[in-house]
Amino acid sequence: MEKIGLKMIVNGTPVSVEVSPFARLLDVLREDLHLTGTKEGCGVGECGACTVIVDGETVNTCLTLAASMEGKCITTIEGVAANEELHPIQQAFIDYAALQCGFCTPGLVLSAKALLDKTPHPSKEEIKVAISGNLCRCTGYQQVVEAIEAVANR
Amino acid sequence: MPLMGKKKFNVINQAKKRVDAADKVTGRAKYAGDVVFQDMLIAGCLHGHRAHAKVAKIDTSKAKALDGVHAVLTAADILKPQSWADYYYITDHVKYIGDVVAIVAAETKEILEDALKAIEVEYEDMPGVFTVDEALQADAPQIREKGVGLVDGIPTKGTKGNIFFESYYALRKGNIAEGFAQCDVVIEKEYRTQFVEHAYIEPEAVIAISDPFDGLMTVHASSQNPYFTRRYVADALGITMNKARIVQRTLGGSFGGKEELVGLIAGRAAILAKATGRPVRLVVSREESMIESPKRHPFKFNYKIGATKAGQILALEGILVDNSGAYNNQTQFLNCRAMIHSAGPYNIPNIKTDTYGVFTNNVHSGAFRGYSSPQVIFAGEQLIEELAEALNMDIVELKRKNILRYGDLTATSQRLSQETIFADMMEDVIAKTDYQAKFAANAVQTGEIRKGVGLVTCYRGAGLGAETADAGGSLVTALEDGSFIINSGITENGQGLKTAYTQIAAEAMGIKFEDINLMGIDTHSVADSGMTVASRGTVMAAQSMKKAGASMKKLLLETARMLLSATSLEEVDMIDSVAFVIGQPERSISVAAINNCRLWTGKQLSVYEWNEPKELLMNHHTGQGNAFPTYAYGVCVAEVEVDTATGYVDVKKVTSAHDLGTVINPDTVKGQIYGGIAMGMGFATTEEIEVSQGKVGNHNFDSYIFPTSMDMPEMDAILYECEDPEGTYGAKSVGEPATEAVGAAIALAIANATGKRIKRLPADLERVLLGKSLRAGGDA
pLDDT, tens only, B464-498: 998 888 999 999 999 999 999 999 999 999 999 99
- Work out whether strand B350-359 and strand B163-173 pair parallel, antiparallel, or are unpaired: antiparallel
pTM score over 0.95? yes
Chain B residues in contact with A33 by the CB 8 A cut-off are none
- Work out whether strand B578-581 and strand B584-590 pair parallel, antiparallel, or are unpaired: antiparallel
Check A135 against B493: CB less than 8 A apart. Answer: no
- Work out whether strand B631-643 and strand B624-625 pair parallel, antiparallel, or are unpaired: unpaired
| Whole-number pLDDT of residue B562 | 97
Q: How confident is the model at residue A134 (pLDDT cuts 50, 70, 90)?
A: very high
Give the tens place of pLDDT for each residue, B661-673. Answer: 999 999 999 999 9
B67 touches chain A (CB under 8 A): no
Check B26 against A81: CB less than 8 A apart. Answer: yes
**A24–chain B nearest CA distance, Å:** 13
| Whole-number pLDDT of residue B777 | 59
Q: How confident is the model at residue B780 (pLDDT cuts 50, 70, 90)?
A: confident
| Bridge partners (DSSP) listed for residue B468 | none
* CB of B653 closer than 8 Å to CB of B749: no
Q: Does B1 score more than 80 pLDDT?
A: no
Chain A residues in contact with B495 by the CB 8 A cut-off are 100
**A131–chain B nearest CA distance, Å:** 7
Q: Is B8 exposed, middle or buried (0-12, 13-18, 19+ CB in 10 A)?
A: exposed
**3-state class of B57 per DSSP?**
strand
- Average pLDDT for B58-81: 98
- CA B660 vs. chain centroid, Å, equals 18
- Average pLDDT for B237-242: 97
B489 touches chain A (CB under 8 A): no
Helices B435-442 & B422-433 angle (0-180, nearest 10): 60
- Torsion of the alpha carbons at B615, B617, B621 and B627, rounded to the nearest 10: -80
Q: What gap in Å lies between CA B480 and CA B473, rounded to an integer?
A: 24
Q: Measuring CA to CA, which residue among B489, B523, B484, B482 is closest to residue B502?
A: B484
Give phi and psi for B583, each to the nearest 5.
Answer: 90, -15
- CA B716 vs. chain centroid, Å, equals 23
Check A139 against B671: CB less than 8 A apart. Answer: yes
Rounded percentage of chain B residues whose pLDDT exceeds 90: 96
A6 touches chain B (CB under 8 A): no
- Average pLDDT for A30-40: 98
Q: What gap in Å lies between CA B13 and CA B667, rounded to an integer?
A: 10
Give the tens place of pLDDT for each residue, B322-344. Answer: 999 999 999 999 999 999 999 99
A32 touches chain B (CB under 8 A): no
Give phi and psi for B288, each to the nearest 5.
Answer: -65, -40
Q: Does B30 score more than 90 pLDDT?
A: yes
Chain A residues in contact with B674 by the CB 8 A cut-off are 139-143
Check A97 against B20: CB less than 8 A apart. Answer: no
The residues near B510 (Cβ < 8 Å, ≥ 6 apart) are B10, B553, B573, B574, B575, B576, B577, B579
Comparing alpha-carbon positions, the chain A residue that sits nearest to B715 is: A142
| Whole-number pLDDT of residue A37 | 98
- Average pLDDT for B75-104: 98
**B372–chain A nearest CA distance, Å:** 19
B703 touches chain A (CB under 8 A): no
Check B667 against A143: CB less than 8 A apart. Answer: yes
Q: How confident is the model at residue B779 (pLDDT cuts 50, 70, 90)?
A: confident
A115 touches chain B (CB under 8 A): no
- Average pLDDT for B579-592: 97
Check B674 against A40: CB less than 8 A apart. Answer: no
Give the tens place of pLDDT for each residue, B503-519. Answer: 999 999 999 999 999 99
Which residue spans within A1-154 are E strands per DSSP? Answer: 4-10, 13-19, 51-54, 57-60, 73-75
Largest Cα separation within chain B, whole Å, is 84
A39 touches chain B (CB under 8 A): yes
A38 touches chain B (CB under 8 A): yes
Give phi and psi for B611, each to the nearest 5.
Answer: -115, 115
- Verify cis geometry, omega within 30 degrees of 0, for the bond prior to B762: yes
CA angle B463, B464, B467 (to 5 degrees): 160
The residue type of B500 is A
Q: What is the DSSP string of B309-363?
A: TT--EEEEEEEEEEEEES--SSHHHHHHHHHHTTT-SB--SEEEEEEEEEE-SSP
Q: Does B776 score more than 60 pLDDT?
A: no
Q: What gap in Å lies between CA B287 and CA B85, rounded to an integer?
A: 23
**A7–chain B nearest CA distance, Å:** 23
Give the tens place of pLDDT for each residue, B552-561. Answer: 999 999 999 9
Q: Does B775 score more than 90 pLDDT?
A: no
Q: Measuring CA to CA, which residue among B296, B303, B393 is closest to residue B344?
A: B303
Q: Does B372 score more than 70 pLDDT?
A: yes
Check A97 against B17: CB less than 8 A apart. Answer: yes
* CB of B357 closer than 8 Å to CB of B323: yes
Largest Cα separation within chain A, whole Å, is 52
**B328–chain A nearest CA distance, Å:** 25
**3-state class of A63 per DSSP?**
helix
- Average pLDDT for A107-124: 98
Q: What gap in Å lies between CA B360 and CA B351, rounded to an integer?
A: 29
B75-105 b/e with 16+ CB inside 10 Å = b? Answer: beebebbebebbbbbbbbbbbbbbbbbbbbb
Round the average pLDDT of chain B to a whole number and report it: 97
CA angle B532, B537, B542 (to 5 degrees): 135
